[in-house]
Structure 1
Amino acid sequence: MKTLYTNYVDTFRGLSREVWWLALITFINRAGTMVVPFLSLYLTEGRGFELKQVGWIMTSFGLGSLAGSWLGGKLTDKYGFYNVMLWSLSLSALLFVGMGYLDGFYAICAGVFVLMLVADTFRPAIFVSLAAYSKPENRTRSLTLIRLAINLGFSLGPAIGGAIIAGIGYLGLFWTDGLTCLGAAGLFIWALDRRKGREKDADTTATTARSPYTDWPYLIFLLSMLLFGFVFLQYFSIIPLFYKDAYGLGEGSIGLLLSMNGLLIFILEMPLVAYFEKQKKISQVGILILGSLLMGLSFLALVVSPWVGLGIIGMMVMTLSEMLTFPFSNALAMRSAEGGQKGAYMALYSMAFSFSHIFAHNAGMRLVDAWGYDMTWWVMVACSVLSVVLLVFLKMTNQRSATKQLESVVEKAE
């Protein structure tokens, strides 16, 4: 047991002080973001919207996220990650509180869009900050630490959120989100030196001729991640409704089940990433193929039987898929950005998942409304298979490119 603990701790060694502070800031911010997992329930039960209306509101969520990711990349390349992250946290605090007082379909659509526009400028900025604060050999683990902070916060957030809903109602969630964003901004100012941040910005904001929009292997990779995100996001829009309708679970139980996802990631993701980093026979693309396959299998489990145990198994398989896909897709995106426009590359990576937000929630709600849950799960399986096909094509393309480069080196040597 002692050896197991020592090996687990060793996977965290070597990360910079700034990365640890960023992880803590992210944890505080994410632990307070309790509205998102309950947003579909809040809109149906708290506001009385129909599923079609909820789908359009969630589309506004995705559009705001998309615009915010694009804007965040532009602002990061121009003004640096430090300023973008600080202002995103500060303004999000005000917008979260304001969201709780909006009423009416169009007002909530607009409010959700503006909130996500501001909040998601943070995403490309933090990726660029990790490229600045991490050594190249530590970047995947640095990304994993940030994800651990996100998921630890997520494991606490829904459980606390369910209790807040039961105790004082949904409005308490919006106030909690606002106050935690404000607290994260305060810690950001205190822990990360502005002058040092600007020095790091100077190393990362330089642009080159290479643009992600002309890097077609990168675009294929992003398309596969868009499909993966489309499927993954059903766990945070339709799946809570499925748990309620199919299993008869209440908000508290749903919150605990969603919390299991974050807790498993907190315990297992870093050792899992460290293990796969040591496996030289499997590439990053190969790991992503495995992750997409597991995502499809998690939805197959929901089709087999209405037994709640299979729902739990599906959540566990999805969690394993998530642990493999997100750290290594992040790392692959950062590696692709080397020598290019880092803000633009990481913005486009974030935008792929924002596109998923635009289509996933609305399409999922409409599929359930028209055809029911089982047919919706089969659609998710098909999307996972298509993601795998794209990744296999990318892997074959990379292998052919590597072979040509080797042949060129050999010819020059001769």
Structure 2
Amino acid sequence: MREFAGLPRSLYILLVGHFINRLGSFVVMFLAVNLTNTNQFTVEFIGVIVSILGVGSFLAGPLGGLLSDLYGRKKILVWSLLFNSILLLILALVKSKISILTVVFLLGFLGNMYRPAASSLISDIVPNNDLLRAYRLYHWSFNLAGTVGAALAGYILSKGFFLLSAINAFSSFIYALVIWIFIKEIKTQKVARKISLLSKPFFDPIFFKLFMITTIGNIVFTQLYVSWAIDLTKRGISTTEYGYLLSVNGLLIIFLQPLLGPYIRNFRPKYVLALSAILIGIGFGMNAFTGTFLYYLVSVAFWSLGEIISAGIVLSIAAKIAPIELKGVYQGTCQMTFTIPQFISPIFGSFILGNFGSTTLWISCFIINVFVAIAYLLYRAEDERFSTSSLVTK
């Protein structure tokens, strides 16, 4: 675990709260399951609920980042987490369609503003040379808590959705309490209170190139949430086997990320990102062929390895190249590289899967990621605004 040693004390405190919060954060994941099992609403309406949640999360990234630049990371972290706690409890109690849609939107919006504030806070308290290690630890702790929490969440849900919501609300409250008591507010640079500041990253040509390439690559990666699950089910993979495949992803991250980190930092970021795109492309491209459970296990290992080696790189680059007064806006915009694909992927994947078949879908994913890898490699050295040493601990 030397990969994660020697970082600032404030970072470890932040990540303790982050771990506790993630450990209980499974209401959103099991919301659709609960509504389906209780036969309260149609499948179409449940789809609308998930989409509304996505809209809220999409807006939370840049706006949460801007608010953290204007009013401070600590304030936005605490208030967002407190809103999250309250809204989770309300969600377990409301019954009508309009009330559920309203609460779900607010949960996605207000309850996710803490994310860009947290990642901005990391860039404030960690020296530039250690940023990559810090963001990789952030990613690692998220997956460790997720792997443990997922094993408990299914059992808790069997005891009632309100209990799951209450535990999630309590974990968010504890996170807010940890931040409030142990984290000092970092003074941010004064910045004009203009909504137009949200557009700044899109007019930064270096950041915008990174944003576009990463977003396109994540359209492939997020196929695992819908198209991959549907396709595997059609091929006879049971729910239990599907769960095992997902757990392999979490276990590989937990065990391999600390081991590979020191080696990854010896290479320029664009080469690591390109290799990551190829590995993810191979992993999903393998689904073009039908195989045994072991075959799909190998495919998961490929795209998991791609996720592992690229973890934290984009966030650390964004922190490095962002104007000091707009770190939150840049981190929030980075969040959009994942929320945008969450909108596009189900449409893209289901359309190709339904009209052209799974072979076409997975070959398309492989080809897309080959172009993503090439795009990363075409970054000119003088355009990157960061050197290898800026992401490496000396």
Normalising by structure 1, report the TM-score: 0.82
1:262 partnered with 2:255: no
Number of paired residues?
380
The answer for the alignment partner of 1:150 in structure 2 is: 142
Aligned equivalents of 1:124, 1:262: Cα separation in 2: 23
- The structural deviation recorded for 1:264 is 1.8
The answer for the alignment partner of 1:74 in structure 2 is: 66
**Aligned residue identity for 1:239:** W
Q: How has the CA–CA distance of structure 1 residues 29 and 238 changed in structure 2, closer, same or farther, with 3 Å as cutoff?
A: farther
Aligned equivalents of 1:399, 1:307: Cα separation in 2: 43
Equivalent residue for 2:209, pick from 215, 220, 239: 220
Conserved? CA contact 2:286–2:362, under 8 Å: no
Aligned equivalents of 1:171, 1:384: Cα separation in 2: 41
The answer for the alignment partner of 1:293 in structure 2 is: 278
1:159 partnered with 2:144: no
Equivalent residue for 1:21, pick from 8, 13, 29: 13
The answer for the alignment partner of 1:88 in structure 2 is: 80
**Aligned residue identity for 1:351:** M
Equivalent residue for 2:288, pick from 286, 303, 307: 303
Q: Which moved more, 1:57-66 or 1:282-291?
A: 57-66
Equivalent residue for 2:362, pick from 341, 359, 377: 377
Q: How has the CA–CA distance of structure 1 residues 311 and 226 changed in structure 2, closer, same or farther, with 3 Å as cutoff?
A: same
- The structural deviation recorded for 1:48 is 7.2
Conserved? CA contact 1:15–1:134, under 8 Å: yes
Q: How has the CA–CA distance of structure 1 residues 12 and 136 changed in structure 2, closer, same or farther, with 3 Å as cutoff?
A: same
| Deviation sequence 1:321-358 (CA, Å, 0-9, x none) | 11122311111111111546212211211122221222
The answer for the alignment partner of 1:31 in structure 2 is: 23
Aligned equivalents of 2:274, 2:45: Cα separation in 1: 35
Equivalent residue for 1:342, pick from 307, 312, 327: 327
1:232 partnered with 2:221: yes
| Deviation sequence 1:133-162 (CA, Å, 0-9, x none) | 112211111111111110001111222122
Conserved? CA contact 1:55–1:365, under 8 Å: no
The answer for the alignment partner of 1:3 in structure 2 is: none
Aligned equivalents of 2:210, 2:35: Cα separation in 1: 34
- The structural deviation recorded for 1:110 is 3.8
Conserved? CA contact 1:18–1:133, under 8 Å: yes
Aligned equivalents of 1:159, 1:28: Cα separation in 2: 15
Q: How has the CA–CA distance of structure 1 residues 385 and 110 changed in structure 2, closer, same or farther, with 3 Å as cutoff?
A: farther
**Counterpart of 1:11 in 2: which secondary structure?**
helix
| Deviation sequence 1:292-322 (CA, Å, 0-9, x none) | 1111111122221142222222222121111
The answer for the alignment partner of 1:114 in structure 2 is: 106
The answer for the alignment partner of 1:314 in structure 2 is: 299
**Aligned residue identity for 2:216:** L
Equivalent residue for 1:182, pick from 153, 157, 173: 173
Equivalent residue for 1:399, pick from 363, 369, 381: 381
Conserved? CA contact 1:23–1:149, under 8 Å: yes
**Counterpart of 2:4 in 1: which secondary structure?**
coil
- The structural deviation recorded for 1:260 is 2.6
- The structural deviation recorded for 1:176 is 2.7
The answer for the alignment partner of 2:164 in structure 1 is: 173
Aligned equivalents of 2:55, 2:215: Cα separation in 1: 14
| Deviation sequence 1:80-138 (CA, Å, 0-9, x none) | 10001111111111222333345566654443322111122112111211111112211
- Name stretches of at least 5 consecutive residues in structure 1 with no aligned partner: 1-8, 403-414
Conserved? CA contact 2:206–2:383, under 8 Å: no
Q: How has the CA–CA distance of structure 1 residues 233 and 109 changed in structure 2, closer, same or farther, with 3 Å as cutoff?
A: farther
Conserved? CA contact 2:189–2:325, under 8 Å: no
The answer for the alignment partner of 1:406 in structure 2 is: none
Identity of aligned residues (%): 23
Aligned equivalents of 1:47, 1:367: Cα separation in 2: 30
Q: How has the CA–CA distance of structure 1 residues 255 and 401 changed in structure 2, closer, same or farther, with 3 Å as cutoff?
A: closer
**Aligned residue identity for 1:114:** L
Aligned equivalents of 1:337, 1:244: Cα separation in 2: 43
The answer for the alignment partner of 1:410 in structure 2 is: none
Aligned equivalents of 1:20, 1:260: Cα separation in 2: 26
- The structural deviation recorded for 1:57 is 3.6
**Counterpart of 2:259 in 1: which secondary structure?**
helix
Conserved? CA contact 1:211–1:340, under 8 Å: no
Conserved? CA contact 1:158–1:255, under 8 Å: no
- The structural deviation recorded for 1:189 is 2.5
**Aligned residue identity for 2:172:** C
The answer for the alignment partner of 1:205 in structure 2 is: 189
- The structural deviation recorded for 1:21 is 1.0
Equivalent residue for 1:332, pick from 284, 296, 317: 317
Aligned equivalents of 1:104, 1:383: Cα separation in 2: 42
Normalising by structure 2, report the TM-score: 0.86
- Name stretches of at least 5 consecutive residues in structure 2 with no aligned partner: 385-394
Q: How has the CA–CA distance of structure 1 residues 302 and 107 changed in structure 2, closer, same or farther, with 3 Å as cutoff?
A: farther
**Aligned residue identity for 1:211:** K
Conserved? CA contact 2:352–2:361, under 8 Å: yes
What CA RMSD, in Å, does the superposition of the two structures yield over aligned residues? 2.9
Q: How has the CA–CA distance of structure 1 residues 152 and 268 changed in structure 2, closer, same or farther, with 3 Å as cutoff?
A: same
Q: How has the CA–CA distance of structure 1 residues 401 and 237 changed in structure 2, closer, same or farther, with 3 Å as cutoff?
A: closer
- The structural deviation recorded for 1:52 is 5.6
**Aligned residue identity for 1:259:** S
